[in-house]
Amino acid sequence: MVFTVCSLTFFAFSTSLSAQSSSALYHQLLKLLETKRVLYIAAHPDDENTRLIAYLGNSEHAQVAYLSLTRGDGGQNLIGKELGLELGMIRTQELLKARETDGGKQFFTRAIDFGYSKHPKETLNNWDKEKLLSDVVWIIRKFQPDIIINRFNREPGTTHGHHTTSALLSVEAFGEAGKSSAFPEQLSVVKPWQPNRVFWNGYNWGAPYAPRPDNLFHEFPVGDYNPLLGTTYSQIAADSRTMHKSQGFGATAQIGRGQDFIELVAGEPFDQDPFEGIVNRWTQIDEGPKIEKAISGVLEHFDFLNPSTNIPRLLEIKHLLDAVEADAPWVLEKQAHINQIIFDALGLQTEFLSNKQFAYPSAEINCALVLNNPSNIPVTLSSFEVMGKKVAIQKPLQDNEALHLDLPLVLPDDYPLSQPYWLEEEPQNNLFTIANQEDIGLPFNRPAVRGILYLKVGNTEMSREIPLKYQYNDPVDGEINQPFTVIPEIQLALNKENLFVLNGTPAEIEVEVSFEKELVEGDLVLDGLSPQEYALVNKAVDKGKKKTIYTVQVKGSSGLGKKKIGVKYQTVQGKVYAQGIKKISYAHIPNLTYFPASNFNLVNLELSTSPQRIGYIQGAGDDIPGVLVNLGYEVSILESASLDAASLQQFQTVILGIRALNVNTDLANQMDELMEYVAAGGNLIVQYNTSASLLTGQLGPYPIQLSRTRVSVEDSPVQIRKGSHPILEEPNSIEPEDFQGWIQERGLYFPGEWDERYKTPFIMHDPGESETKGALLLADYGQGTYAYSGISWFRLLPAGIPGAIKIFVNLIEQAHE
């Protein structure tokens, strides 16, 4: 490993400022002094009360963490098409941005969000309670909170079943975490820990919360102003909540006073303060009182105009903290915290930059280490360590003169890929499979490559870990930083997620094999099919782009239904590659990259369809148009300018995407034209909308009133009302087995009331609940046909569910009846 060292006053990479204002540094010292710890627990991204987290972290100066049971994988996405695991990745990063804003930490359990649940019994039928309880106990032991605050109460049926479950697990874990007999396998890493109290963060939906006089409660003034930060806790909370962009949760701060209440659920009673009786942790370690006094001394004599003059006192605190022999989480955090405060007081800038965002194992990377010390405090870069190699440097950092070190790196052949750690193995029973106990709870992967700087500040030795990142300048947004990512050397991309073999007619799929380094000879193999069931019909090699594109004809397997087929590329050396690469990019979060297994759904169907032109008006985002194209339909994406009745006549069917009437104002204003299209003989299919933020009351040709009714159990009973409408027979007969194998739910936000002219072919209900006919409404209007449906087509069709595809095709085929 060779360094080329040069001092530069200007270089290609712009430096990012990590230093904080003097008031922010002072605020960080107040947090360093405080030892209180709070764990906030709920079920999903967005459940957390950002106002209370902001207040506790920035007024009480407590260390606050949010434990979300799930990553929000089962929700909807208002900014794109990503659902499921991809949506979970987006919401994970949105939570990290929220915590970056309000000052908290973030944890997760292994639970996969499987959608809406009405009761905790249903929830725990899907989640392994014992494993999930062990995760909550693990986080309590790992974080060691003094108090726990639950967002939700424990009363079943009052809210989402996931919500209630989070509170039930929290209270049970509160009682178990301090017992050495509970989950003893964790105790090789963590110690039993008993928090003092657990609370409920009281609320009353739709009305001001009034604490019950028979309960112990406490009120926090969460609308207050923080002069050090120059903002209110309400504003911090609004900025934090606005990070949940995939859920459309942009927030405006409340102005003026605000209150939040917590009610005692379990633990020691208190008189005035929920932190009563909680021990000051400084008194529990050697030299703790001395450290506490030293921090107070810096606060008392803090120099706001020249923060680097505080460095000698800060170094004294560091020496005292480093001498503490303790493995308690809070001590380790304080040791890291004082280091960060020192670096910020210096204004020290450190960056580890790659010339590329992506690299594969065995690849060479040109990197640069960039450092600058704008203060008059002498700092020396002693050495730098990366990938287990440490190189002596001994270069001074002074006079605000940037230091630039060229650093070529070679990734080892077996270097791990940047796969999100919870996706490395197949999930089991709605829980992620995580092999390493110590990974459970982590919000995201550690950086793919990280280095350690060894510095001397004066005569004090310090170290700092810095991640390798890719940095570039955007002509509009300026400096952009993205995580450095390790990708497979060979990747497979399929042009279809679902391959439909209709009525025994063979279908084709393209497999693109991309080579990062050089073309490697090998064979394409389809797992799950016999050699007689598929054939390679074309192979195109593009040496310039280092790609080989295979066209494979699939005859299908015996029997109707869906089957997952794996695709792999086996090199002549015997190495097997069976992963694709997917990239997710949004401006408010870092770029996300993951490597899904290269497979597709083979769907064998006996299905009658007709040639049709379909106009699709997108809403909040879904993948249904691609499914319809694969079924043989011609699909055009329509913009608002194309929605006049005359232009629409070229389409036999027009379909509105999910929540289109919640997000598309132009569409809402053109519903009259759509009704004219239907009356003139068109076929209109409207997918689900929510009653909240509905942009028009005109959903169809006759009145429809939406409700919040949903059928959340995917295998709940369905009654087919034979004879109620031709759609049940033409052109494909709908049978009970067509409702088998559905995923996550039947549907959501069904109409609750409708005009008697609508026909209702299905009756659905969750176990133990009353029946609803609102899943699908059908009507003739003029010469045309109309359908409104709350069935979750946006999940079912991209997942290749045969019965759901058949029903949706019948809706489309109304155009030819």
- Model pLDDT for residues 382-412, shown as the tens digit of each residue: 999 999 999 999 999 988 999 999 999 999 9
Which amino acid type is present at position 766?
D
CA proximity to 380, closest of 485, 314, 453, 282: 453
d(CA 605, CA 627): 14
d(CA 776, CA 732): 17
Looking at beta carbons, which pairs linking 423-427 to residues 24 or more positions away fall under 8 Å? 423/85, 423/594, 427/112
**pLDDT for position 411:** 97
What would the mean pLDDT of 224-232 be, rounded to a whole number?
A: 95
589, pLDDT greater than 60: yes
- pLDDT over 90, % of the chain: 88
User: HEC profile for 65-82?
Assistant: EEEECCCCCCCCCCCCCC
Distance in angstroms between the alpha carbons of the first and the last residue of the chain: 73
CA proximity to 234, closest of 243, 245, 225, 244: 225
Which amino acid type is present at position 298?
V
pLDDT per position as a tens digit, 459-489: 999 999 999 999 999 999 999 999 999 999 9
What would the mean pLDDT of 758-783 be, rounded to a whole number?
A: 95
122, pLDDT greater than 50: yes
Structure token digits, residue 91: 């919401």
- 817 band by pLDDT with thresholds 50, 70 and 90: low
What string of DSSP letters covers 628-660?
HHHTT-EEEEPPGGG-SHHHHTT-SEEEEPTTH
Domains and CATH numbers, the chain: 31-275+439-445 (3.40.50.10320), 490-604 (2.60.40.4140), 608-816 (3.40.50.880)
What would the mean pLDDT of 436-455 be, rounded to a whole number?
A: 97
Which amino acid type is present at position 221?
P
- The greatest distance separating any two alpha carbons of the chain, rounded to the nearest whole angstrom, comes to 88
**Dihedrals φ, ψ of 804, to 5°?**
-65, -40
Structure token digits, residue 562: 């869906």
What would the mean pLDDT of 547-571 be, rounded to a whole number?
A: 91
Most confident of 209-213, 236-240, 323-327, 812-816: 236-240
What would the mean pLDDT of 540-564 be, rounded to a whole number?
A: 90
CA proximity to 516, closest of 566, 577, 471: 577
472: β partners: 480
611, pLDDT greater than 90: yes
pLDDT per position as a tens digit, 177-215: 999 999 999 999 999 999 999 999 998 777 778 888 788
| Mean pLDDT, rounded, of the chain | 93
**pLDDT for position 693:** 86
Q: What is the DSSP letter of 159?
A: S
Rg (CA), the chain: 30
What would the mean pLDDT of 348-354 be, rounded to a whole number?
A: 96
Q: 10 Å Cβ neighbour count for 573?
A: 8
Structure token digits, residue 209: 């919360």
What would the mean pLDDT of 407-430 be, rounded to a whole number?
A: 95
